A = this chain, B = another copy of it.
Amino acid sequence: MSRNYAGLSRERIIVEALHIISGRGLGGLSMRRLGDALEVEAMAVYHHFPLGKEQLFNAIAAYVTSPSPTGTALGAEAAEEEGRDTEEGGPDSVEVVDPGPWDARLTDWARVYRARLLEYSGALSLLVHRAPRTEADTATRALVHGAFTEAGLSGDDVERAADALYSYCVGAVIHEVRHRDDEDAPDGAEREVRFRFGLRSLLRGLTAADA
């Protein structure tokens, strides 16, 4: 058992780390435990994340906030850490036009985003001090910017509305996770109702004509 080509990769490591986090919490993730789960010596992880646990945490944060399970965030995040530029070609090069009216686009995005954050709720606290610049993040900005512009906002108000939307979404998921074990906590269905209620209200307030 000397040589061990375990086929380790950044993504396999991240997925296994998230599995541990989901089972034992963020504090339960140790490099040694991660190595065990990957059937590898703990130090092997350092070959893929030379900067150690902090770099792994950044990668997890990027992974969690990127909608695609195959992890488009991996390349971008690796480039970021080593000082390279992102591999993205030109600006607006992938300008995907979503179908439907602006509010449906925003609501759909929010629903997907919430679902993903809830799926990896154990890693949520990693996001408080980390805002990884992923492809998914740029795509989201374009989508939200376009939607609010279409809704009639302009100038600084577009940025302000976008910030309010992001704030509400991550805040709502955190509020949900924080309170889901309270004695009088609402069930899953009602929690989703509340999320959509708040979202609808916020969008209405953001796009109503100013007094």
On A, residues with C-beta under 8 Å from B are 25, 124-131, 157, 159-161, 163-164, 166-172, 174-175, 177-179, 182, 193-194, 197-198, 200-206, 208
> How many copies of the chain does the oligomer comprise?
2
Contacts of A177 in B (CB 8 A): 128-129
Using CB atoms, name the residue of chain B closest to A122. B129
Contact call A170/B168, Cβ cutoff below 8 A: no
Contacts of A174 in B (CB 8 A): 127-128, 167, 170-171, 174
Which of B131, B175, B205 meets A206, CB within 8 Å? B205
| Contact (A202, B163) CB under 8 Å given A125-B128, A129-B125, A179-B131 | no
Which of B127, B130, B157, B194 meets A160, CB within 8 Å? B194
- Closest chain-B Cβ to A133's Cβ sits at a distance in Å of 9
Which of B124, B193, B201 meets A161, CB within 8 Å? B201
Nearest 3 pairs of A and B residues by beta carbon: A171-B171, A205-B205, A164-B198
